[in-house]
Amino acid sequence: MTITRQKWMLLLALSGVLFVVAYFGMSHRVLAAESREFSLQVTPSPLVTTIKPGQNTTVELKIRNAGSQTEDLKIDPRSFHVDNNSGEINLDETSPAGISRWISFSQQKFTIAPGQWFTEKVTFSLPQESGFSYSFALVISRQKEPKPVVHGRLIRGSVAVFTLINVDRPGAKRELAVTKFVVTKRVYEFLPATFEIRFRNLGNTIVQPYGNIYIQRGENSSEPLAVLPLNEKQGYILPGVVRTIQQNWDDGFPVFKSITGDDGQTKSKLTWNWSNASNFRFGRYTAKIVAVYNDGTRDVPIEGEVSFWVIPWRILVVGLIVVLILGFGLWSMIRKSILMAKSVRSKAKGEK
């Protein structure tokens, strides 16, 4: 049978259509595999508790599948370490030494349907000879990650719940020190002023500091201009760890504010909110810190003090120029009036 030229063209066109359909269908499936979402909600996070050695202590983690697909999950303890210089937390792939053999789960592997909650019971069975504190992460991840596809990008999904345990046993020591309390500049043109507080945990248990920073006109002022909360994010400090906390005082006029531009870059911009004009800041200020931690029996205060200046020199220069101009104008008017008065008196004497 002879195939005409028109039939060949028709077959080629049909093959092209089938290829396009197959290609885009395959691409759609690849994208679906690549973009498989992983979204979990876990509470509480972090998990913080105090337990007694020689007893079984069980805590509950509630896990919600906020994604659109059923997830087969597992939970494993993992160690982490904190960089004292940067404050960054680095998660390891190893089990936490010392305590991993004393941790058990109600279901280490479990399945959660979309929108459903699952309660994981974590039991700690610490012996009498256990340590004074433990810090690790409970990592929730998929039992099996989706297989990578050709030209596909696969994102491994997991959630880390940082777990902090204090052991209530004889010899536990809670001691915290403020090793540094400074402002990032001694002289500011405009607010905000940024304070840095460096804590060092000198004890063998986990500590959570709190307190306030008081901004005053002078060292002995009875009424503070502002009260700033300390450790507003309620962070914990592990034994032997140094942690730096920052706090800003931005109650001024005008004030620099961080603004994100269309290019995604963050820039500092001087803003003028005239409703805050009464908060114009100029002169020397003193900041006093009162940090508090619990040593197991009572609250222990830690105090510190630092002074700084706010000198809005550009506003002062402009003000000085305006004063000089007004002064010169006033002096010119007075001088002119005096000369005119003398001229009038001279003419009056001449006429006599």
Fold of domain 40-167: Immunoglobulin-like (2.60.40)
Percent pLDDT > 90 in the chain is 70
Residue 18 pLDDT greater than 60, yes or no: no
3-state class of 254 per DSSP?
coil
Residue 33 pLDDT greater than 50, yes or no: no
Given this model, what pLDDT does residue 147 score?
65
Q: What is the mean pLDDT of residues 49-61?
A: 95
The residue type at 337 = S
Q: What is the mean pLDDT of residues 269-276?
A: 94
Q: What is the mean pLDDT of residues 73-84?
A: 92
Least confident span in 51-60, 141-150, 340-349 = 141-150
Q: What is the reported pTM?
A: 0.77
151-158 own/partner pairs: CB under 8 Å, 24+ apart:
151/30, 152/30, 152/33, 152/34, 153/34, 154/34, 155/38, 157/38, 158/38
Q: What is the mean pLDDT of residues 47-75?
A: 95
Fold of domain 176-311: Immunoglobulin-like (2.60.40)
Gap between the Cα atoms of 257 and 271, Å rounded: 7
Q: What is the mean pLDDT of residues 265-279?
A: 92
Average pLDDT score, the chain: 86
Residue 109 in tokens: 């592997």
pLDDT (tens digit, 9 = 90+) per residue, 157-211? 799 999 999 999 999 999 999 999 999 999 999 999 999 999 999 999 999 999 9
Residue 22 pLDDT greater than 70, yes or no: no
- Domain boundaries, given as residue ranges, for the chain: 40-167, 176-311, 316-342
Q: What is the mean pLDDT of residues 261-269?
A: 84
The domains spanning 40-167 and 176-311 adopt the same CATH topology: yes
